[in-house]
Structure 1
Amino acid sequence: MPKKAKPFKPVPKRFHPGSLPILYEDHDILVVDKPSGLLTVSTDRESDRTAFAYLMDYVRKGQAKSRSRVFIVHRLDRETSGLLVFAKSEESKRWLQQEWAEFNKTYFAVVRGHLAEKSGVFSSYLAENGVHKMVSVKSSDLGKLAKTAYKVIKESKAYSLLEIELMSGKKHQIRVHLSDQGHAVVGDKKYGQDEKGTKRLMLHAGSLTIKHPYTEEWMTFSSNAPHYFDALMKGPNA
């Protein structure tokens, strides 16, 4: 018989991180809808304006010496928007990371052009080169296997909207696989081209199904793709 979820008292609204919408929270996890342009964790250049920093301040209710904290379970690239899960204990973090490969992760992406096959699976071995860029390589001796399932949802004259399921969790795998096919994610300066007039990387983590680390019940969270995705598909250059 599954355990009952622990009672939870929400943090006062004055401590809510305004730029980071919280979709779900209990004693074990936090699920947020990260905007494009916000780092998940700090870098050498930025330590304060990150999802992690905002949520640390949130759970501490503004008290720097509080023992409350959040733990990083997974990451989204800075320019990728969408669902991001944090744990509220080391135990929950470890459990979620151990089970992560079994969870369902769905993304939406806008790419330039039309794919010949309207659904399928991209597969390659990925490795990081000397300039910190992920590339597909020919052998398992050189890289780690990555699989990305996709289906075309909508097409315009210039673009395609894809629904993508991560079948593995390698760094930048969606962006690399689509670039390899000649259909890089729109706005991807690293693996595609710098398209003038594009406001952001057109990649969004839209659905996530996980097992709760305490109750072990399945939970599904969803986030609609930003309006800009639809606007680009219908725009004058679409």
Structure 2
Amino acid sequence: MKETFSMSILPEWNGLTLESLLKNELSFGKKSIHQWRMEKSITINGELKPWKNPLSEGDQLTFKYTVLPSAPAWKAEVDVLFEDEHLVVLNKPARLDTHPNSEADTQTLQNAIVHDLLSKGHSGYAQPIHRLDHDTTGAILFAKHPAIKPLLDQLLEKRMIKRTYIALAEGQMKTSGTIREPIGKDRHHPVRRRVSPGGQKAVTQYQRLSVDPVKNLSLVELNLETGRTHQIRVHLSSIGHPIAGDTLYGSISRQFSHQALHARKLSFIHPFTLKEITASAPPPAYFKHH
């Protein structure tokens, strides 16, 4: 399906050439830039113009591309927190995978957003920039076209997408702290991760928001400097405060049917508008009682 997306030349980009903008300011790869040039995929104010001409503030760039749906469509409700023509932030429910792990897996959040986009006349391209575990809820970012995806991937890699979580942890945690323990695979379990000297660097900052002495739970806010698989779950378990309901990592609480972990907020600078985007996901009801 042929699609287009547009972007305006901001004051910061006035006087740049198209090539300089794409390469130096937006950090597109050489392959993408070469393909757009050869296929004459970019118009300026609706016209094909030489790439060496200087751009002016307010000029409109329109990109044309051909793309297929990213996954089979699955009709299911999606909770949109923020959306424009480039990206969408969703509020993921529990008991749902972020994306398919096999061809037979067709009922995931990615399948649901593909259906939602197709129903609006969009190509159905939707690629997750990061992932949330099956039972983790909250804000998650998807790219809506193939040009924005590498730019968002770069933001994630450079730790420029700030992700804030909340969790209900067992016990009464310290007021605040930073956990700096590398994380690797647990060779005795196909899914579980563990703190391991030979693992990947992992840093989690936490701050205790409140304590429920009756239920022996701490409500904590967490910020990730890295994004390892199961990072928060492994780190909190490693200091003796597993997330309530997280039986994989040692929770003994039976108050929850899954780990009480929620991605509360995402914030980043939009690559095409340079505006700060902040999307907040309301916590599930069980957080409100703590």
The C-alpha deviation readout for 1:105-137, integer Å capped at 9, x for no partner, is: 10000011112x310100111111232321111
Task: Identify which range, 175-184 or 84-93, moves more after superposition.
Answer: 84-93
Displacement over 6 Å in runs of 4+: 3-6
SS in 2 for 1:96: helix
State the shift of 1:69 in Å.
Answer: 1.2
Match of 1:93, SS state, is helix
Per-residue deviation, 1:194: 5.3
Q: Determine whether 1:137 maps to 2:177.
A: no
1:211 aligns to 2:269 (yes or no): yes
Shift in Å at residue 68 of structure 1? Answer: 3.5
Give CA-to-partner distance per residue, 1:48-80, whole Å, 9 cap, x none.
2211001111111288xx743111211000100
Percent of aligned pairs with the same amino acid: 28
Deviates more, 1:207-216 or 1:40-49: 40-49
Give the alignment of 1:34-73 within 5 angstroms. 34-44=92-102, 47-61=105-119, 67-73=123-129
Paired letter, 2:94: S
| TM-score relative to the length of structure 1 | 0.84
Of 178, 192, 201 in structure 2, the residue corresponding to residue 121 of structure 1 is 178
What's the secondary structure of 1:99's corresponding residue? helix
Letter aligned with residue 59 of structure 1: L
Q: Evaluate the alpha carbon distance shift between residue 118 and residue 45 of structure 1 in structure 2; reply closer, same or farther with a 3 A threshold.
A: farther
Written as runs of structure 1 = structure 2, the 5 A alignment for 1:1-238 is 1=11, 19-44=77-102, 47-61=105-119, 67-100=123-156, 101-115=159-173, 117-130=174-187, 131-138=190-197, 142-157=198-213, 158-193=216-251, 195-231=253-289, 233=290
Tell which deviates more after alignment, 127-136 or 168-177. 127-136
Q: Letter of the aligned partner of 1:82 in structure 2? A: G
Please identify the structure whose Cα radius of gyration is greater. Answer: 2
Number of aligned positions between the proteins? 219
Gap runs ≥5 in structure 1? 7-14, 234-238
Cα offset, 1:199, TM superposition: 3.0
Contact 1:20 1:35 in 2 (8 A): no
Q: Distance in 2 between matches of 1:159 and 1:90?
A: 43
Alpha-carbon contact 1:121-1:148 (below 8 Å) kept: yes
Amino acid at match of 2:185: E
Aligned mates of 2:82, 2:149 — CA distance in 1? 16
Q: Which residue of 2 aligns with 1:11?
A: none
C-alpha separation between the residues in 1 aligned to 2:276 and 2:166? 22
- Higher relative CO (CA 8 A, sep ≥ 6), structure 1 or 2? 1
Q: Which moved more, 1:98-107 or 1:39-48?
A: 39-48
CA contact (8 A) 2:131 2:140 kept: yes
- TM-score for the superposition, normalised by structure 2: 0.69
Q: Please say which of residues 106-115 and 192-201 is displaced more in the overlay.
A: 192-201
Higher deviation after alignment, 164-173 or 42-51: 42-51
Q: CA deviation at 1:200?
A: 2.7
User: What amino acid is aligned across from residue 210 of structure 2 in structure 1?
Assistant: K
Quick one: which amino acid aligns to residue 88 of structure 2? L
CA distance in 2, matches of 1:47, 1:211: 33
Q: Which runs of 5+ in 2 are unaligned?
A: 1-10, 13-56, 62-72
Distance 1:209 1:165, change over 3 A: same
